[in-house]
Amino acid sequence: MTPDLKVTLAGVEFSNPIMTASGCCGYGEELADVFPLEKLGALVTKSITREPRLGHPPPRTAETPAGMLNAIGLANVGVKRFLAEKIPWLETQKTKIIVNVAGSSLDEYVEICAMLADCERADMIELNISCPNVSEGGIQFGTNPAMTEKVIAEVKKVFSRPLVAKLTPNVTDIVEMAKAAEQGGADVLSLINSMVGTSIDIETWQTRLTNNKGGLTGPAIKPIALALVDAVHSNCRLPIIGIGGIATAADVIEFLLVGASAVQVGTALFVEPDAPVKILNDLTSYLKRKQLARVTDLVGQVRKY
Ligand SMILES: Cc1cc2nc3c(=O)[nH]c(=O)nc-3n(C[C@H](O)[C@H](O)[C@H](O)COP(=O)(O)O)c2cc1C
């Protein structure tokens, strides 16, 4: 028997729990050359801002042991061009689309989400209140519980489809932020965004990123992400999308066991662009081997000492 991979988050049904993470496959066009996007549960777009952004000058990525640092600086086409140029192509893709939105002010978040409200192809919005790589806004909305609650509550007034709040690990207590997001009316939580870090060339004494610091991602952050998903799942009722260092089906299974209902694959796409397809095949084999009828049978089933 083929196991059922479907998951439902906030009333939206996804064909499987594997999504791409924001910023790791642009708006999807290049990834569609690697595998049909209908294989994905959902594609999450690069963060969209009100105005187009070029981001930081290079170098804006650096490899680290078991991960990478990036300070892209939210390079994107801006919401008008996204709607005019990217959405028509996304309309043709048979996967759910989650549009990731970033802003530097409350007004900017609300204005972008209001513009996306009429765009039915945006099945959900993921609110990036956790970007460590911009000077204004970004992470400030995700590190202050009152600001988290407010931005979500205001966006909910203009966007009626489900809203995902993407949380940062760069806080003392992520559960407090999760509760603020829930209080504001978020429908789903996604975690984690990258962890602030840096790297220095000892020959030149120069930092390796023009932004001097960046966001650490990849396998190095997986244990941290797992512990944070576990903490949020244990204290919050909202469904969770787990993110952080996922590269294999085994990684996905760990995230589901600690309480994630779905996951996003980010940095692994730079190493192995077809990782989501391999993950899906291996996840199906695992469910068969364990004689589980549904992938949802794993969610929150971790055994603890
Ligand atoms: C190059 C790069 C660009 C990213 N850009 C964004 C972005 O625009 N918006 C966002 O919410 N997250 C962004 N992220 C964070 C990822 O979506 C994800 O939360 C993070 O990389 C952790 O997952 P991973 O370890 O699987 O990569 C970016 C990550 C990378 C590596």
Q: By the 8 A CB rule, do 265 and 254 touch?
A: no
Both structure tokens of 245: 């260092």
Would you place residue 121 in the very low, low, confident or very high pLDDT band (cuts 50, 70, 90)?
very high
pLDDT band at 186 (very low <50, low <70, confident <90, very high): very high
Residue 75's closest CA among 12, 131, 116?
131
Residue 102's pLDDT band, with cuts at 50, 70 and 90, is very high
- Is there a contact between 208 and 200 (Cβ–Cβ < 8 Å)? yes
pLDDT score of 139:
74
Residue 218 pLDDT > 90: yes
Q: How far apart are CA 59 and CA 184, in angstroms?
A: 37
Looking at ligand 1, which atom is closest to the CA of residue 47?
A: 8
The tens digit of pLDDT for each residue in 36-65 reads: 999 999 999 999 999 999 999 999 999 999
What is the helix, strand, coil percentage profile of the chain, to 5? 35, 20, 45
Question: What pLDDT is stored for residue 134 in this prediction?
Answer: 67
CATH architecture of 7-52+74-194+217-298: Alpha-Beta Barrel (3.20)
pLDDT at 276 over 70: yes
Is residue 224 within 8 Å of residue 196, measured between CB atoms? no
* Cβ-proximal residues to 33 (8 Å cutoff; 6+ apart), any chain: none
* pLDDT-based confidence at residue 1 (cuts at 50, 70, 90): confident
Strand partners of residue 233: none
236 catalytic residue (yes or no): no
**In the chain, what are the domain boundaries?**
7-52+74-194+217-298
Average pLDDT (66-76) is 97
Cβ(70)–Cβ(214) below 8 Å? yes
How much distance in Å is there from the Cα of 281 to the middle of ligand 1? 24
Q: What is the pLDDT of residues 2-29, one digit of tens each?
A: 999 999 999 999 999 999 999 999 999 9
Cα(240)–Cα(191) distance, integer angstroms: 7
- Cα–Cα distance list, 241 to 10, 11, 65, 71, 157 (Å): 12, 14, 25, 23, 23
Cβ–ligand 1 contact at 46 (below 6 Å): yes
User: What pLDDT is attached to residue 90?
Assistant: 98
Cα–ligand 1 centroid distance for 243 (angstroms):
9
The model's pLDDT over 122-173, given as tens digits with 9 standing for 90+, comes to: 999 999 998 766 666 567 899 999 999 999 999 999 999 999 999 999 999 9
Mean pLDDT in the chain?
Answer: 96
